[in-house]
Structure 1
Amino acid sequence: MTTIDFRIRAAEVLRIEASAVAQLQQYLDTDFNLACQLMFDSKGKTIVSGMGKSGHIGSKIAATLASTGTPAFFVHPGEASHGDLGMLSKDDVLIAISNSGETAEVLTIIPVVKRLGIKLIAMTGNPQSTLAKLADAHLCVKVEQEACPLGLAPTASTTATLAMGDALAVALLDARGFSADDFALSHPGGSLGRKLLLRLEDIMHTGAQVPKVPQNASIKDALLEISNKGLGMTAVVDDNGKMAGIFTDGDLRRILDQRYDIHTNRIADVMIRSCTTAHAKMLAAEALQIMQSKKINGLIVLDEQNVPVGAMNMHDLLRAGVM
């Protein structure tokens, strides 16, 4: 059996596609600015359309636009000719994708688009094509060669088109002042949403589940509280119920060699007074960063009066999908 080193061809593919993307910078001309301005000023949505591989890329571009602050969706040009053009309105912008600029299914819908007064952005590899000439703004995605050795399968050209779509989306994101919170609102079900939206009040233990003992309690009482609540720590509160300190599993190991009597010594004698705490509205991701930087496994959550109202640890963050 002949041994083939598939990496040789793969390396060539990556070189060709990387070069295609790098060369796109020369096409960031006034038409790119115009395309962005048309989408930025639009009171409607951005519709993306394309056939075949261009359609697959167009679907991804629409999804990226929609998740970064530019309302968008994909319409198949074949379906558009049979009723789906009803999805478009005069306030919309259409991005039509065709590497040749002569795709029949795409060109068929352009007269209707023009009649509706919809602004047209074309993405083609041929600035002299019919589609490019009909467009209000043309984004050139021309490549020197496809990565396919036969020069037939769209490879470098689709990569370049996808990259140009990303350039549009990110340029608009920046212009709109789109924030991480905005991004999270369109990703509530995924890990990004959990990291950006979830707050401690959503996952913390509350009420009787919060481990806490009075400062005149014995060390033994504190250890029982830690064991019963299962969070590896307990808050220590003063006579007014306010946070006075904390005692953790790690602190127990610290005092073992100091000959404290767990039955008679008070927890106030061994607790940590200057401790890191949190508030209920704190993002879970922020709490994770604090715990990692401080090398601690849990946090007591305080209200505005410094009273413990919640508690959580790394296991809670893990269960919530934050880490």
Structure 2
Amino acid sequence: MKKTQLWTSAVALVVALLFGAGLVCLAADQSAQPQWWGKGPGKKLIDKLTVQGTVANISPANIDVQTPEGIKKFTVTPQTRVMVRGQKATIADVKVGDPVIVRFQPVPNGVPIARLIAVPKPWISGRITAINGNVITVAEMPKPVEPKPQPAAARPGAKPGMHRLPARNVQPPAQRPAPGPERQIRVTDQTKYTSRGYVGTLADLRVGYFVRAQGTLEGDQLVAEQIEFLPMVAKGTVTAIENGIITVKAVRQFTVNLQPSDKTVVWVKPRVAPNKRGTLDDVKVGSPVDVGFHPADGRPSPLLWIAVYTGM
């Protein structure tokens, strides 16, 4: 059961790695927690042609996937690529109950064709609650609970039989759920730590950061091969560059001084062209940016990565 929980807690690793959203933090001090900023533009085409769930039925010619919306059926052909835990495989290696991601090709008035069937390696994600030696404890973060729209109340003072105002949908804000169950991640000398291209170490992880860990299961622990982490983040504008220190005024109306290093990763994100790696020379006063950094008191914060938006 625990093995299934670990797998299904975030089965869409392959799809999730495709995202590249801007980020914002809630405050400038260390107690602030990172979170995604803004509302996404909607599903990309690659997401619309991808289904994730659990294998409900499997045969050499077909695969049924159990999703929250019900069973999805796909045709398997000799051209269908199959990956099981990072290795090339065949349809015979996919078992009922496996978490699965299916990328498909629509067929008019027919069953979609599976182009890729991927059983991901076990992985978990959540917010770090403790770091003890080589063991990291994380609390899984459930999605916010979206309440159902409620009809508006009758006009104040209205009596039975009197004309009522037309009902309208009132959508209260999403409720923040309590943290989910805690999981343990064990790291080794071979574990890799990354954050949007930045390559780090165990020392880069802090309580409160979000992580996604992928690896193998040993008992109740996941032995991590790869950990992607989200440090403190901000979205804003570069207001000054002096003596190598980059000053950013965040949209949340605080200012942060950032200290780049030779490990800092720079991304250039043109409005109408593909993203590309850049250098610190691409960072200019007035540039809109997203930044990932370690918060620091009384000194500039170490800058892990910076995304520079151009052509805005």
Give the TM-score taking structure 2 as reference length. Answer: 0.21
Report which of the two has the higher share of helix.
Answer: 1
- Bigger Cα Rg: 1
Give the TM-score taking structure 1 as reference length. Answer: 0.21
